Structure 1
Amino acid sequence: MENLTNIPANLSGTRDNSSVPIECTDIFCRPDEEYLDYLEDYVFPDDWEWGIIILYALTFIVGLSGNVLVCFAVWRNRSMRTVTNIFIVNLAIADLAVIIICLPPTLLSDVTETWYFGFAMCKIALFLQTTSVAVSVFTLSAISVERWYAICYPLRFKSTKRRAKIIILVIWIIAFLLALPEVIVADLTRFVKRQYIDLLIFCGPQWSDKTNQVVYQSVIIVLMYLLPLVLMTVTYSMIAVVLWTGKIPGAIESANRPMMDGNVNRAEEQLESRKKAAKMLITVVIGFAVCYFPVHLFNILRYADALRFVAPRMIQVLSMISHWLPYLNSSINPIIYNFMSVQTKGAFHLTGIAGFAGVAFFADCWNARSLVQPDARLSP
């Protein structure tokens, strides 16, 4: 492991403070103490970086607890092991991987601009980061398609747990394949910072051909952002129209039945509930678009060498914020998908963690029964 503890003797050795002339140990003839002080100041967080660290810490806590609660609630309640919840649990697992595997080393590297974990972990970390983020994004896309079929075409679509598990397996395989190039090109690099020669280490992809690098990043942007964004926008827009207008396929018979006075209020409540669900779908798309756009834009500008005239401090700030936003998305996914459902309190009471889950991180609100009236028969 190469880090600041491996500073050579000519930099970290003791030096006599007598009148003996200082022997130069670098090309700038800087005293060892001044050099080490610079490295310490460089690695230690600035005041504004502590604010970023707090954001990362809060995101880690919310993401870890929320996604764990999702998995635990489904595991404890057999009635919640629906097709949709299979996808949601897979999303929670992927988001947990993003939070646990990606967030800590990203924060440490962004703040200290140094990689402390060695060559092997550099390759493993980059591979797992790309894999977990890809699984999270692809699962979001799969959920949108599954809900689109179940709500817009309930009579011609029969979703099964077996089919859901096959889709999830395919998602993981594609994610692994997409991350393989990261393993091949990942490497450690020493870099020079300002006027000092230092020993700080950078972990990242080291492409021998810039064209291949641009092609790979283009594929990443298309498969992990543009296509999922278009897919979710189209499917959720169609679902939102159905829920907002109340024109639910398969619910015609129910709509044509004469309504008793006692059912009028219930119908109005169901219509309002569907409108809230439609708004939640819009929130899903906006959340994904906002959280993942900056990091992809930043990569495009970086690989196009368009940041050469931007101040280094500004680049560091933009980099840290753009890296934080995808983690924010992984932490709020349980809230977006499972918040404010009728079944929330009951689910947590059944799991025995209702007190801990006071803000209702989990619910089966994506079950079609909770989105539409019962006699609409939209459940797969």
Structure 2
Amino acid sequence: MKPENFTEQCVGAEEFCNLSREEYITMLNEYIYPQTYEWVLIATHTAVFVIGLVGNALVCVAVYRNHSMRTVTNYFLVNLAVADFMVILFCLPATVLWDVTETWFLGDALCKIILYFQSVSVTVSVLTLTFISVDRWYAICFPLKFKSTINRAKTAILLIWTISLTFNAPELVVLTTEKLVPLRFDLEYLVQCTATWSYTSDLVWHITKVVFIYTIPLLLMTVAYHQIVRVLWRSDNVPGQAETIKLASAEQTQLRSRRKAAKMLVAVVIMFAVCYFPVHLLSVLRYMPNIKQDDILTCLALLSHVLCYANSAINPLIYNFMSGKYRREFKRAFCCSSTLSLESQTTTSRLTSKRQDMRCQHICHQRQYRNMCHTCLVRNSCRNNFMN
């Protein structure tokens, strides 16, 4: 029995001191229940979740099923898709729940693992885009000095994950759950997943991430793609070919293909820069002494989280709109096996016919082999070459 003169100490706002435990819990439940704008936020994240999972899975399936797409660039894009797929699957639901309820319900272990893995995935994404830009820069600007291979791409991907896991390791140590808002009862409400190191250390850490995981890689990619665009659009010559050689049909096709690939990669980099700029800006601004946490800053923070996850879902859409190969493979993923077989046979026959046609034209140009051209006189191009 409590003594008659015992007075229970009130924790938190005085207006809630007279509430019973049940009334107190009801009040907290009403507080964390989603408001109208938060339902819009949930719906937006749900759309990003579905599009991101399906799109990134299709990227992996497309490269796996089509051997001709197993290029160095596509290996890097698959690595990017794997990182995006995993962060959407494991990190997006937890972040939405946290943003809406202002409470981390998943415990201390998942606080460390989920936020650490989210940081790792962002680092993997930016390093992958950087490696792609450097690889394309060497291949297009210095075609005779550098040979890009699949084995080198696999080694680079292993290096990317090693650097990402190591760079973000401090978060595994400092992240933990804390009750930053005092409550009257021992309840798991308004718990936050936060870093335990000092204010200064946290500021230095975020500035370091902004510099090394956003600013410097973005500058490198900008310089690389600027030079790539200059080389690919300054003339009608494939890099590595002599200026005086007039491009054949196959070389023109190769040049157009490289230009399309460059446009697609530049679009991916621009979307990355746009989507991650707000979250990096806010991560530094919130430490400024004159910046106060108000409703506007909270809404901007929620919007920045949406953009980060949207970036993981938008890359497959870019591939679909800007790459014919990815678009065809995405369509094939929803077709039956007989259709796939028919398309494969049709594609093979077209390639074979094109090779025979090019070989025939080459022979027709050789005057000493005119007798060999009778088999291809039905082709107008060969007939014209023969008669001239």
TM-score category (smaller protein): 0.7 to 0.9
Instruction: Call closer, same or farther: CA 1:305–1:112 in 2, change over 3 Å.
Output: farther
Unaligned stretches of 5+ residues in structure 1 = 1-22, 356-380
SS in 2 for 1:307: coil
- Kindly indicate whether the alpha-carbon contact (under 8 Å) linking 1:345 and 1:354 is maintained by their aligned counterparts in 2: no
Corresponding residue of 1:230: 219
Could you list the per-position Cα deviations for residues 84-126 of structure 1 after superposition, in whole angstroms to 9, with x for gaps in the alignment?
Answer: 1111111111111221122111111011110011111111112
1:102–1:129: 8 Å Cα contact kept in structure 2? yes
1:202 match: secondary structure: strand
Evaluate the alpha carbon distance shift between residue 206 and residue 306 of structure 1 in structure 2; reply closer, same or farther with a 3 A threshold.
farther
Q: Does 1:66 align with 2:62?
A: no
Deviates more, 1:214-223 or 1:109-118: 214-223
CA distance in 2 between partners of 1:24 and 1:48 (Å): 38
Q: TM-score, normalised by structure 2?
A: 0.75
Paired position in structure 1 for 2:19: 31
CA, structure 1 residues 40+345, in 2 after alignment: closer, same or farther (shift >3 Å)? closer
Q: Provide the secondary structure at the position in 1 that maps to 2:91.
A: helix
Give, in whole Å, the separation in 2 of the partners of 1:211 and 1:38: 36
Q: Which amino acid aligns with 2:285?
A: L
Deviation of 1:197 after TM superposition, in Å, equals 10
Distance 1:337 1:231 in 2: 22
Picking from 142, 149, 153, the partner of 2:142 is 153
Given the superposition, is the C-alpha separation of residues 82 and 320 from structure 1 closer, same or farther in structure 2, using an over 3 Å criterion? same
Residue of structure 2 in register with 1:361 after alignment: none
**2:276 corresponds to which letter in structure 1?**
Y
Residues 23-65 of structure 1, C-alpha deviations (whole Å, 9 max, x = no match):
9784422312542232112211100111111111111111111
Tell me, in whole angstroms, the C-alpha distance in 2 between the residues paired with 1:107 and 1:132.
17
- 2:302 maps to 320
Q: Report the Cα distance in structure 2 between the residues aligned to 1:108 and 1:289, rounded to whole angstroms.
A: 26
Name the CA distance, whole Å, in 2 between partners of 1:333 and 1:108. Answer: 25
Q: CA RMSD in A?
A: 3.1
**Residue of structure 2 aligned with 1:251, choices 241, 253, 275:** 241
| Structure holding more helix per residue | 2
Q: Could you tell me whether the CA contact under 8 Å between 2:59 and 2:326 is conserved in 1?
A: no
Distance 1:274 1:87, change over 3 A: closer
Preserved CA contact (<8 Å) 1:67 1:93: yes
1:189 is aligned with what amino acid?
A: E
How many Å apart are 1:297 and its aligned residue? 0.7
Rate the CA distance shift 1:193–1:44 in 2: closer, same or farther, 3 A.
farther
Cα distance between partner residues in 1 of 2:273 and 2:184: 40
Residue number in structure 1 paired with 2:196: 206
Question: Which residue of structure 1 aligns with residue 287 of structure 2?
Answer: 303
User: Which residue in the other structure is 2:45 paired with?
Assistant: 56
Give distance in 2, aligned partners of 1:248 and 1:241: 12
The partner residue of 1:353 within 330, 334, 356 is 334
Question: What secondary structure, in the 3-state scheme, does the structure 2 residue paired with 1:303 have?
Answer: coil
Letter in 2 for 1:201: V
Relative contact order (alpha carbons < 8 A, sep ≥ 6): 1 or 2 greater?
A: 1
Q: Secondary structure at the match of 1:189?
A: strand
Q: Please point out which of 253, 269, 272 is paired with 1:285.
A: 269
In the other structure, the counterpart of 1:173 is 162
The residue matched to 2:192 in structure 1 has which SS?
strand
Separation in 2 of the partners of 1:119 and 1:58?
28
Alignment of 1:331-350 (within 5 A): 331-337=313-319, 339-348=321-330
CA contact (8 A) 1:25 1:31 kept: no
Flag structure 2 segments of 5+ consecutive residues without an equivalent. Answer: 1-6, 337-388
Equivalent pair of 1:152/1:239 in contact (CA under 8 Å): yes
What amino acid sits opposite 1:167 in the alignment?
Answer: A
Quote how far apart the aligned CAs of 1:303 are. Answer: 2.5
Mapped contact 2:238–2:254 kept (Cα < 8 A): no
Is this contact kept in 1: 2:56–2:316, CA < 8 A?
A: yes
Give the length in aligned residue pairs.
Answer: 325
Q: How far, CA to CA, are the matches of 1:87 and 1:107 in structure 2?
A: 29
Residue 116 of structure 1: aligned partner: 105
**Closer, same or farther: CA 120–352 of 1 in aligned 2, 3 Å:** closer
Tell me, yes or no, if structure 1 residue 189 matches structure 2 residue 171. no
Cα distance in 2 for partners of 1:353, 1:120 equals 39
Q: Secondary structure of the equivalent of 2:152? A: helix
